[in-house]
Amino acid sequence: MNSAAPTTRGRESEVAAAALENNWLAGSVRTLGGFYAFCLETLRLLVLKRFQFREFVDQAWFITTVSLGPAILVSIPLCVIIIFEVNQLLVQIGAIDLAGAGAAVAVVREIGPMVSVLVVAGAGATAICADLGSRKIRDEIDAMVTLGINPIHRLVVPRVAASVVVAVALNGVVSIVGLAGGYYFSVVLQGATPGLFVSNLTLLVGTADFVTSEVKAAVFGLLAGLTGCYLGLNAKGGPKGVGEAVNQTVVYAFMMLFAANSIITLVYFQIHGTQ
């Protein structure tokens, strides 16, 4: 009787542990906690450890090669369509010469950082996740740990830094392309005056707006890089698991980016509105 009771209690504990393991809420909490711990460790190593500059350059070039073309191709129709619709309203009220101000607000404040980082998250972060996930299932990450090499310091930190730098650079490229496309459609197709279009670019947008746009792009790139690296290092289940991690990278990164965009925009208008 006495020996059976501990056995029963042990089985009950195993069943409870298995139920907790399969509970989606508990799994979500563990994943969220693990992601925050991963982010803190990455930022700590970025500040305290020697920076892997060569790996950073390689990853920055890699992310640029997979992101630059799609960013330009996405920015042209998206920016032009929005600017074209805004200009239609300006034409109806006889204020088409303010098209430059509307184009600058749309492109610099919102479209530029969103397009650049959506491409970084959709192309760059997924490529990072696939690379780290394939290394994980081939036991390369475990081998690095066995050799005393910290995979976060060696692999994650340069990739996250590269994602931030490329996102900031792409934001500038997308802004230039969007404004150039807006100029063409506004002046050639909708009758705006070229000189007034250019002079009104700074009517509603100033240095603070451009800096905020770059800060958005940097934060978005940081979140996309961290998401791709975390899911890649935690991939399991063979090639199928890597594919699932890549799909999760896109979904989670987009959710975080839209939430961060809302927060940064609200903070900006609260600060800018008090000045």
- Lowest average pLDDT, out of 13-22, 25-34, 149-158, 258-267, goes to 13-22
Whether the predicted pLDDT of 159 surpasses 90: yes
pLDDT of residue 91: 77
Whether the predicted pLDDT of 230 surpasses 70: yes
Q: Is the pTM above the cut of 0.85? A: no
Q: Give the model confidence (pLDDT) of 85-142 as tens digits.
A: 888 887 787 777 788 888 888 888 878 887 877 787 888 888 899 999 999 988 888 8
- Report the distance separating Cα 234 and Cα 133, nearest Å: 7
Q: Between the CA of residue 205 and those of 78, 171, 210, 211, 272, what are the distances in Å?
A: 20, 16, 8, 11, 12
pLDDT of residue 13: 59
pLDDT of residue 161: 93
- Cβ atoms 111, 78 nearer than 8 A: yes
DSSP state of 152: I
pLDDT of residue 274: 45
Q: Give the model confidence (pLDDT) of 195-217 as tens digits.
A: 888 888 888 788 888 888 888 88
pLDDT of residue 1: 46
- Going by C-alpha positions, the residue among 256, 217, 223 that lies closest to residue 112 is 217
- Report the distance separating Cα 44 and Cα 72, nearest Å: 34
Average pLDDT of the chain is 82
Q: Give the model confidence (pLDDT) of 41-63 as tens digits.
A: 998 988 887 888 899 999 999 98
Residues in CB range of 29: below 8 A, 6 or more apart: none
Proportion of the chain above pLDDT 90, given as a percent: 13
